[in-house]
A = this chain, B = another copy of it.
């Protein structure tokens, strides 16, 4: 069950309107690695966790915080759209500044949401749940989480470079910090799980399932041998085994020959050669 508190976790107040930046900021709201993605990913991971209450609680704590981040960014976008010339007519557009605002903003902000945030990314594509994962395997999922927080912080850093509005930078600076924490916490929890299960996910695959003779070889599928030069190829692999290197791709299979289809499929019959 969730309860809403009306205050924001952190201020979300720009110095001045900027509808073009509002469009760009949609990326960290409703993009592949925006706040909706982490909020929804953590919610589903938490709800699907079986046992492991500590992990479940950590995940749900972070989920609830992330809904609050969606709220902060939505508020910031709504404010970047206030007092801006978004309903101007053609004559005004001949002014080059107004013209580039009208051409560069997201038309949904004027036509669909009436100066509010949209649940979509910076190119106007609606958020979809194909972005997220909750697999029931915590080590797999925490890796998804550290990935999401890494891509997310990278995008926040880039947005930080693209504005000189002190209010926007202040909030982005807070988000950078929270992503630092979230990377740290998932990395720490990953280490704990890796100590229990080993580094290869899932750690529960019984002996005999995997064809072990192919489990540590780097096949060189490109011309040139640059990839052979990694020092770690000479060291112990993360799972404790020894890496191998094959300088050319090796085929263990044969050329596949498919049987003809039945006549009811109306496929092309085999005309031979």
Contacts and interface: CB of A to CB of B under 8 A. Distances in A.
Contacts of A262: 87
Interface string A182-196: 011101110111001
Nearest to A239: B184
Given A6-B255, A90-B21, A205-B266, A181 B1 contact: no
B135 A151 contact: yes
A133 to B, nearest CB: 6
A164 B144 CA distance: 31
Given A43-B71, A50-B267, A188-B238, 19 more contacts: A1-B71, A4-B64, A6-B60, A18-B90, A50-B258, A63-B221, A87-B162, A94-B97, A96-B99, A100-B102, A110-B265, A119-B132, A143-B143, A153-B201, A157-B205, A160-B209, A161-B265, A161-B266, A226-B273
Interface in A189-220: 189, 191-193, 196-197, 199-202, 204-205, 209-220
The quantity of this chain's copies bound in the complex is 6
Interface residues of A, number: 205
A123 B11 CA distance: 30
Contact of A129 (B24, B62, B127, B157): B127
Contacts of A139: 150, 268
19 contacts: A8-B251, A9-B249, A20-B103, A43-B67, A44-B117, A48-B116, A51-B272, A60-B221, A91-B164, A96-B96, A120-B129, A127-B128, A177-B215, A180-B216, A183-B239, A184-B200, A184-B243, A197-B268, A205-B266
Given A112-B155, A187-B238, A239-B184, A48 B7 contact: no
Residue of A27, A111, A140, A158 with most chain B CB atoms under a 10 A cut-off? A111
A218 B47 contact: no
